[in-house]
Each structure stands twice: as structure tokens, then as C-alpha cells.
Amino acid sequence: MIHQEWQLLQQQYETYERWALVIKLVAVIIALVIAVISLNKGVGAVLVMVLWGQEAIWKTYQARLGDRILVLEASIKNSDATQACQLHSEWLNQRPGTLGLVLEYAKNGLRPTVAYPYVFLLLCVWIFS
């Protein structure tokens, strides 16, 4: 049972990664369209920042799955199956308040693998619009 949970969570983790890439590609397309039609810089910047925030939220969800995968792996390593199927219970016990949740989203949004295209896109929108 613990192995099945690990396998399911790992598949979901990879799915989050693919969707994060889709969000990045949408941001690139929006930035290009904004530059081509010379839309207001502020509007373009806001659209790119919204997508950046959305990816930060997405990556936060992914990070939670990653945390659970690590617990399962430690349990598998120690042959202790009592930790299986506790994803939501653990998340509820560790869930921060509103400010903590916003800070968690911000932390994930500022990770280099998330932030780099958005900073570049914001600069492009600002320069070319």
C-alpha cells in the first residue's frame, strides 16, 4: 500500500512539473503578444505577474507532495508502513495561517527555476511595450 501511494504521488509530482512548464509557455506567449500589439506596460506586467503567482502556487502544491514523498521514502527505508496514506492529515497539521501561506507561495515563486523567465518577461514587456 505504501508503495502504491508513493507511485501515485510521484506521478502527480511530475504532472505538476509539466503544468508549471505550460504556465511558463503561456506567459511567454502573452508577453510576445503584448509586445507586438504594444499594450500598456502596466497591463502586460500585471498579466505576467499573475502567471508568476499562479506558478508559485502550483509549485507550492508540488512541494507539499514532495514533502510527503520524502516521508514515504523514509518509511519504506525503515520498513514502517504506519505513515502510509497520511498526505492530507500531515498537510492539515502543518498548514500555516494566511500570512504563512502567502509567504510559502512567495518563497516558491522566488525559487530560481520559477522566477527566471518571469523576471526576463517583465523586462521584455517593459522595454518593448
Please give the residue that has the higher pLDDT: either 70 or 79: 70
User: pLDDT band for position 89 (50/70/90)?
Assistant: confident
Cell triple for residue 84?
502510509
Q: Which residue has the cell 517593459?
A: 126
Q: Are 55 and 23 in contact (CB under 8 A)?
A: yes
Which amino acid, residue 110? Answer: L
Residue 111 is given by DSSP the state: S
Q: Could you tell me the residue range of the domain that residue 9 belongs to?
A: 2-128
- What pLDDT is recorded for position 42? 84
Counted residue by residue, the chain has a size of 129
Give the number of domains in the chain. Answer: 1
* Spatial separation of the C-alpha atoms in residues 11 and 28, rounded to whole Å: 26
Quote the pTM value.
0.74
Is residue 23 scored above 90 in pLDDT? yes
